[in-house]
Structure 1
C-alpha cells in the first residue's frame, strides 16, 4: 500500500495532470456500461444480446480482467465453452499478475480515485474463476481440464485461508471438486472435498443442501467408513441411497448479482473556499428472491437447493475491504483539499477550476464480477430413463439422456441458468 505521506506531497501540476487524465479516460464509464448490461439481464435481456454489448465495450488495461470475467461467464451459460475458457483463463492470469501493484498505480489511486488501480479481483472472484473454468471444461467433456482447475482452486483457497478470514472460501467450489473426483473414481479425494464444503457451510451457520448431505452418507459407506456414514445419517435424517448405476449432478445458476452503487458526499468548507468530496462503494438493499428449479422423477419431485449465496459473498468481500477503502478516500480528500487551498492562494480562478476537477474526479470504484448469479444451487437424481423432466425459470423442459445410455456413460453433469432456456449436458 502506498505511503499516505506521499499523497500530500504531490506537486499541484502533477496533480492536475492526473485529474485531466481521469476526465479523458473511460474507467468509470466502462464500468457503468457493464453494470447497465447486468441490470438489463435481470430484466430478461437475452444473453446473446448481452454478450454482443459486452464485446463492444473497449476497456483500459486496468479493467481487462473484469471484462474477461463477465464475458467468460456469459459464454459459459450460453454454451460457448471454448471461448469461456479462453476469457476466464485470461482473467485468471491477469489477476494473478496483479498481486504486486505498481507504485504509480498506487499513487494515482491515492491522489485521484481508486479506478486508476488495476482490477485484480475480489477473493470470491479469485476462487470462483477456477470453479467456472472447471464447469466449462466439464461441459466440454474434458474431465482432466476440470480436475486441474479445482486443484488450482484448492491452492488459492488455502492461500486466502492464511490470512485467517473466510473471504474466498467457497462451498460451491469444494462441492464441485467432490463431483469431479467422484466422476474420476477418486472417492477418497471426493469425500475430502465434500467434508470441506460441509465445514465451510457449518462455519457460516447455514444448512447444507441435501445433495451434499447424501454424498457424504453414500461415499463414507462406499469406502468402508460405516460409523461416519451412520453419524451423517443421524445428523441429516437421511438414509443410505439404494444401489444406483446412473447419477445426474445438477447445477443451477439463478439470477444476476446486485450491482454496486456510489455513495458520494460533498461538503463546502467556507474558511478556505474549498469543496470536499468523498465517494465510497456500497451495495443497495438485497432484493433477490430465490427461484428454484425442479427435477420430476417417477416417485418424487426434487428441488435445487442453494450451496452458494453469491449476494452474501460479494457483500462480505466489500465489507472486508471497506476500512482500507475508507481510509484511502479520506486521505485522498485531504490531499485534494491541500492542493486546492495552495492553488487558491496563487490564483483564485485556477483554484476554483482545480476544485471542480477534484469533485468530478472523486468517484468510487464499483468494479466487480457483476454478471455472476445471485445464487448457485445444486440437486442430484438417479434416473435410469432416457429423458429427465425439469421445471425451470422457462417452464417445463425435457432433457434427452439417451445418448448417455447409448454410449454406456452412466453419470451426467447438467447446468441450468435463469439467463437462458438452454440446458447444458455432459456425460461421463
Structure 2
C-alpha cells in the first residue's frame, strides 16, 4: 500500500494515512502504524480550515473535489488504534496518553455535536480507555470511563446495535469496590445481581490478557443516482432507461447516460452515497491460555463495537446536508447548461442558431450529468465488528489460542496461537484479525 500513496492523491492524504496506518497495525508494525496515524491526526486538525476555491470547484462538479475529512467516529478510531498500538507493544504509559486524547476528542464532540441523538459519544472508545486506565492502576479514571461506557451503551443500543457487554458489569463492581464507593457499589450490585465478579485484591498476583478481535470488513459506499425529469418526455426517457440493461462497466453506463440525457436536455441527475454492509460471519472468539501443566483458562469474546451501525448513523446524520447540497448543485448545473445553450444561439446568425444550440445543449447538459458523482470515500480497512476477551491468569508460561466461532453453526476457523510469558500484575494485549 505504500506504493499506492500517489494513487490516493493530495485530496485523500488523510484517507491514505488512515488506511496505511490500519494495515500496518494489523501486520504488527506498531511503530510505523503510529507514525502514519499521527499524520492522520494532524491532517484532521488541518482540515478544519478549507479553501473557498476548493469549495467552489466541488459545488460546480461534485464533493470528490474536496479533501477527504472522514466522519467523527473515524477520527476517534485514529486515537483508538494508536492506543492499541502502544498497548500491543507493552507501552501502557504511552497508551494512556492516547486514552486522554480520546477523552478530549469525545468531550469536544459531545459539546459540539448538532444532533442530540446522533453520534456524539463512543461506548467502545470509552470502555477501552477504562481498560487502559485500570491496567496502569488509575482506578478513579478507570471507573469514570467504565461508567460513561455503561451509560452510552444503554443510551445508544437502539441504533448502535451493541448491547452493554456483560464484562462491563463486573468492571463496575470491581472498581467501585476497590475505591470503597459503597453507595455506587451497592447500586450496581442491585442492578446486576447475577454478575460474577472477582475483587481487585484477589487479582493483584495475576496477569491479565486482553484480546482485541477485529472481525469482518467495514461497509463500503456506492453511488445511488436520482434522475429527476422536468418534462413528460424526460419522464418517459428516465423510465425507459431504467428498464434497459446497461453496460456492466459503471463508467460505460455513466457515459451512455450522459449522452442520452444530454440529447434530451430535461433530466437533472443527483448522486447520493449509500452504504453496502459487509457483515462478518464471526459470532465470537474462543480464547484459551494453556499452561505447561494444569487446566487451560478460557473465555469467550464479547461485542463492544459495531462499525456498520456507526457508519450508518454517521451517513444518516449527514444525509440531509448532502442531499440539500446535491440538489442545489444539480439546479445550478442545469441553469448553467441552459444559459450556455441560449448564449450560443444568440452568438451566431439565425440560420446556424438551431444546430449550434443543439450541439452546445447536448454538451452542456451531458457534462452536467457526467460530472455528478457521490462521495463514496470511507475508512474501509476498519473492521465490521470488534470483540474483546479479558482473562486473568497466574504468572507463568502459556500458549494462547484464539479460535473464531462462526454464525449459523459454521465450522470454527483455525485460530492463531503464540507463547506467552506472563508476570504478576502485568497486562498483555493481543490483536486478532478475521476477514470473514
If the TM-score is normalised by the length of the shorter chain, which range does it land in? Answer: 0.7 to 0.9
Query: More deviation in 373-382 or 236-245?
Result: 236-245
3-state SS, counterpart of residue 121 of structure 1: coil
Matched, 1:195 2:192: no
Task: Give, in angstroms, the shift of residue 168 of structure 1.
Answer: 4.5
Aligned to 2:133: 181
Distance 1:204 1:383 in 2: 33
For residues 303-361 of structure 1, what are the alpha-carbon distances to aligned partners after superposition, in whole Å with 9 as ceiling and x for unaligned? 11111111100110000000000000000110010011111221331221122222111
Describe how 1:52-71 pairs up with structure 2 within 5 A: 55=4, 58-71=7-20
What do you get for the CA RMSD once the two structures are aligned? 2.2
Task: Give, in angstroms, the shift of residue 165 of structure 1.
Answer: 4.4
Query: More deviation in 359-368 or 391-400?
Result: 391-400
Aligned to 1:284: 276
Aligned to 2:334: 337
Aligned to 1:320: 317
Distance 1:55 1:392 in 2: 33
Matched, 1:73 2:22: yes
Aligned to 1:31: none
Aligned to 1:104: 53
Contact 1:95 1:119 in 2 (8 A): no
Distance 1:222 1:126 in 2: 33
For residues 26-52 of structure 1, what are the alpha-carbon distances to aligned partners after superposition, in whole Å with 9 as ceiling and x for unaligned? xxxxxxxxxxxxxxxxxxxxxxxxx46
Matched, 1:391 2:407: no
Matched, 1:303 2:300: yes
Matched, 1:258 2:219: yes
Aligned to 1:91: 40
Relative to the length of structure 1, the TM-score reads 0.80
Distance 1:397 1:284 in 2: 30
Contact 2:211 2:431 in 1 (8 A): yes
For residues 91-135 of structure 1, what are the alpha-carbon distances to aligned partners after superposition, in whole Å with 9 as ceiling and x for unaligned? 111111111222112212211101111111101011111111111
5+ residue gaps, structure 2, are: 234-263, 290-294, 345-356, 405-412
Q: Of 360, 368, 372, which residue of structure 1 is paired with 2:378?
A: 368
Aligned to 1:152: 101
Q: Of 390, 413, 419, which residue of structure 1 is paired with 2:429?
A: 413
Matched, 1:170 2:122: yes
Task: Give, in angstroms, the shift of residue 58 of structure 1.
Answer: 1.7
Distance 2:179 2:314 in 1: 37
Describe how 1:16-27 pairs up with structure 2 within 5 A: none
Contact 1:72 1:84 in 2 (8 A): yes
Describe how 1:25-40 pairs up with structure 2 within 5 A: none
Query: More deviation in 258-267 or 82-91?
Result: 258-267
5+ residue gaps, structure 1, are: 1-50, 421-428
Aligned to 1:27: none
For residues 269-308 of structure 1, what are the alpha-carbon distances to aligned partners after superposition, in whole Å with 9 as ceiling and x for unaligned? 4588333111000113564444311123647742111111
Which structure 1 residue ranges, 4+ long, deviate > 6 Å from structure 2?
A: none
How many residue pairs are counted as aligned between the two chains?
366
